[in-house]
Structure 1
Amino acid sequence: MSFCEERFHTIDYLAEGNGSQRSAYEILMKLKVIQSLKVYDPILIGTVPIDLNIAGSDLDIACEVSDMKVFVQRAYELYGACDGYRCIHRLKDEVERSVVHFEYAGWPIEIFGQPVPTKQQNGYKHMIVEAKILALLGSERKEQIKLLKRSGLKTEPAFGQLLGLQGDPYRALTDMYHWNDEQLLHMVKMSMDEVV
Structure 2
Amino acid sequence: MSPEMIWLIIRATGQTLHMVAVATVIGSLIGIPLGVFLATSGKGELFAAPITNKVLGAVVNATRSTPFIILVVAIIPFTRLVAGTSIGTNAAIVPLTIATIPFVARLIESAIREVDPGLIETARSMGASPLQIVWKVLMAEARPGITLALTLTIVSLIGYSAMVGAVGGGGLGDLGIRYGYQRFMPDVMLAVVIVLIVLVQAIQSSGDWLARRFDKRVRSR
TM normalised by structure 1 equals: 0.30
Between Structure 1 and Structure 2, whose CA radius of gyration is higher? 2
**Structure with greater helix share of residues:** 2
**Structure with greater strand share of residues:** 1
Comparing both chains, which one has the higher relative contact order based on Cα–Cα distances under 8 Å and sequence gaps of 6 or more? 2
